[in-house]
Structure formats: C-alpha cells, structure tokens
Amino acid sequence: MDNKEGYDSSHTMYSPDGRMYQVEYAREAIKRGTITCGVVYDEGILLLVEKKIVSKLIESDSIEKIFKIDGHVGCSMSGLVADARVIVEEIRERCQEEKFYYSHPIDMGDLIKDISNMIWYYTFDGGGRPIGVGMLIGGIDKSGPHLYSTDPSGAYEEKYAGALGEKSDQVEKILEEKYKEKLTFNEALSILVNAIRATNENKTPFLEMAKITTDKGFYQISQAELAEMLKNIPSS
C-alpha cells in the first residue's frame, strides 16, 4: 500500500514519487460514475450515457448527463454532476465570447485547450479542489467532427471513440474491436449500445443520447425516438 504520509492532504502537493493524490482521487470519482461513451461516425459525433434511476420517485429528466454547449458542440459526463455543471457554464461563456468578438463559432482545438486549462486551474488553486468529472466533448468545426476526453489533471485526448466511467476499460476494449472509419449512424449506435449492454447486468439500461452533425448541429434525441431506435438493434 502507498505510504501517503500526508501528501494527500493538499491537492497542490506532490508526493516524493511525483504523484498528486487528490487528482488521482478525482479520477476515482469518475470511475465510480455511470458509463458514458461516444464515437465519431460519417455524419458527426454520437454521445450515449447510462442513467441509473435509483428510485421511482425521481424524475429522470432532472438528472443531466448530456449538455448542449453551443450549436455545434455538446458533451457527456461521468463523475460528479455538480462539477460538470460548473465547467459546462464556463465553456458556454467561452463559446459566446468567441461569437461576440469574432462573429464565428469557436474552433474545437481552441475550445478543448481552454476547457483543459479551466480544469487544470483547479489542480493548483489553493481555494478549490480538482474537478471530479470526466467529459467527452464532441463538436463540428471547419476541419470536421472532433471527439475529446478530459482528465482532472487538465490533460485531454482526441479520440475516434472513447468511454468514461464504471467499466469504461471494458467498453473501450469493445470499441477498439468494433470501430472502423466512416461508420453509419446505425452502426455507431449499435456499437455503443451493445458495448454498454455487454458490461451491464441490466441488459436494458436507461440510456440518453445526443448527436452533433454537420447539418443540424447539436441534437438531443428524445426517449421516444431512442426507444424506437433500440428496437432495431440486435444484441451482439
């Protein structure tokens, strides 16, 4: 077992072996969250999340796991929802500033750097703590569709497909096996749904989905639409 010797008492302190324990704890919060996954397909990006409704007294729409950022940008999350809301509001403001000052949507490469800088700030700000949320951020710009994943350290990766949350390693293994270039929407949906089903004891998990396309931008798919789509997806 690691001998932390108080090095986890502050998120601004390195251990002798170069670790920041509070950032690692934030990653654990993500691993305990419900699964979210995304994939780049021929028309854009597809985001899919699982919701765990623990009581019939809860209104499912009140639990946000997918957020619209701008007309061409959306994200899904795993981890602490409250932390996600804070970051989402800051990202939205950044997109609005770009439109106000430059009269065009923000480039995805610039946006992900700004988002990661926001997250990184919480790793050394003495009045805060690392952000306990991981996000899959999808968007369309003049160079095409992009999908990024964020980390509490402030690092980010661009991916063709990815997953965050509980059993995300197993989901990503399935995505690696099934992913190919120029997936159709139905192929992309089938891969994501079956990846979640394969790692879920409940073979009919409660899902939420959105897509970002070149023609329509961000579009949240209703539960009625999603239910019809799921009827046509065979189990792999």
What's the pTM?
Answer: 0.91
Is 209 within a domain? yes
Amino acid present at 79: G
Identify whether 8 is part of a domain: no
pLDDT band per the 50, 70, 90 thresholds, residue 1: very low
Q: Are 95 and 70 in contact (CB under 8 A)?
A: yes
The CATH code of the domain that includes 182 is 3.60.20.10
User: Does 5 map to a domain?
Assistant: no
Structural domains in the chain (count): 1
Looking at residue 231, its pLDDT comes to 87
Predicted confidence (pLDDT) per residue in 53-92, tens digit: 878 888 888 888 999 999 999 999 999 999 999 999 999 9
Q: What angle do CA 38, 40, 43 make, to 5 degrees?
A: 125
Looking at 32-162, list the stretches that DSSP marks H as alpha helix, in order from N- to C-terminal side: 81-102, 108-121
CA distances from 49 to 2, 25, 65, 192 (A): 34, 22, 7, 9
In a domain, 41, yes or no: yes
- Does residue 113 lie within any of the structural domains? yes
Q: What angle do CA 188, 190, 196 make, to 5 degrees?
A: 105
Burial 37-49, CB ≥16 within 10 A → b, else e: bbbbbebbbbbbb
The parent domain of residue 81 ranges over 21-231
137 domain residue, yes or no: yes
Query: What confidence tens digit (pLDDT) does each residue in 153-171 have?
Result: 999 999 999 999 999 999 9
Say if 47 falls within a structural domain: yes
126 in a structural domain: yes
